[in-house]
Amino acid sequence: MFSKNGETPNGTSTSTDKATSAGRPVGIPSLISADLEIIGNLRCAGDIQVDGRVEGDIRSKTVTIGEGAQVKGSISADRATLLGGVDGEIKADQVIIAKTAKVVGDIIHRSLSVEAGAVLDGHCRRFEAADAAKRDSSANAKIAPLKPTQPGSAIPNPPNAQKAVNKPAAG
């Protein structure tokens, strides 16, 4: 009646073709329940939903921090949805902060949405801005600062400084 590839003889597919290599159907996240506390880092190729407490860094494709959840550590994901408490840096392409969330830490993002009522204590930077700032700081570290050559000149070596010195006074 069913074949190995999950199709019935009439060509329709069954729900078994949604299974991942981990044995979970696609779309069902790994769940840290409300009564569970984890001390250590979490790494997942799929989705993680935290409803409990985590002390450690989280890396996943998508991360959802539930309304009563608490995370102390950094979050790195493609998409982060925050409804609970987070104390640490968040780096994600898309960050959604719900009105019930309390976030203490910097957010590095491409897209950021903050609902009215959410608590956010930290800096927010877009990926492009963060990359540019990093490039600028490394470039400035390699270049020695220029010193003005003319007394009272704010611009080092003004373009017409040599011309003014070499011209005879009109008169």
pLDDT tens by residue, the chain, 171 residues: 444 554 444 444 443 344 444 555 566 889 999 999 999 999 999 999 999 999 999 999 999 999 999 999 999 999 999 999 999 999 999 999 999 999 999 999 999 999 999 999 999 999 875 565 555 555 455 544 545 555 554 545 545 444 444 555 555
Q: Is residue 162 part of a domain?
A: no
Q: Is residue 151 part of a domain?
A: no
pLDDT of res. 29: 84
Classified as helix, coil or strand, 149 is coil
Q: Is residue 10 part of a domain?
A: no
- Please count the structural domains in the chain: 1
As a whole number of angstroms, the distance between CA 101 and CA 70 comes to 10
Q: Is residue 13 part of a domain?
A: no
As a whole number of angstroms, the distance between CA 14 and CA 92 comes to 34
Q: Is residue 67 part of a domain?
A: yes
